[in-house]
Amino acid sequence: MNRVEQLELEFGNDAWQSVIQLAKHGYVPDSVRPEIIREEQTQRLSLLSAIKFSKWKGKEDDNVYLNRLLKNATLVLPAVKPTPRSPELQKRIEILKASQQNLEYKQMVSNLSQPSVKPRSSSAVVSGLNFSVTVFASVFGCIFLLRNIIPDILVRCIIGLVCGILLLCIEIFLAVRAVNKEETKSKAN
């Protein structure tokens, strides 16, 4: 069956009723009449039969004109049947789609900054050394600076320890606040 034989004309209601009346009264070619009777419900006629009918209608003298019959007719094209894909091709398409989606995702998140992971153990050691150096420096500073004002070394050591403990509390407060800020930043991202 070639492509022209697959094409069909679908008539409007009024035009199809006229074609059926012509077929019932024998006013159509004998080769077209069985198809009209067979396709009475679908209101379709093959394109080749319509061409035969138009040639015959051109020879006959009747009140039914071909242009009136074909006025509301539409050409029905056959549906294209897709060829089945091979499994290898389908697998390759899936792999390509997955890689394309992965690439698009990477491009989408490329401008987001990666959270920097700082090692906790070394920063804890450094903080501990910083606290102890602060306490010892404040004690020795008070002993050295207050030697001309306060002659007793025990009193100077106590004043130095109080200053050192005060600075230690301030540093612990600042360290806890920095850790808290860092945690809120990581939760926000």
102-123 pLDDT tens trace:
999 988 888 776 655 555 556 7
Q: What is the spatial distance between Cα 131 and Cα 176, in angstroms, rounded to a whole number?
A: 13
Domain residue limits, the chain: 3-76, 120-188
- HSE (CB half, 13 Å, CA atoms) of 21? 10
Q: What's the whole-number mean pLDDT along residues 12-31?
A: 70
Q: Residue 23 and residue 19: Cα distance in Å, rounded?
A: 6
What does the pLDDT read at residue 58?
A: 47
Give the per-residue pLDDT at 108: 86
* pLDDT of 172: 86
| Highest mean pLDDT of the ranges 45-54, 111-120, 142-151 | 142-151
Q: Distance between CA atoms of 112 and 188, rounded to whole angstroms?
A: 13
Per-residue pLDDT band at 62 (split at 50, 70, 90): low
Verdict on whether the full-model pTM lies above 0.85: no
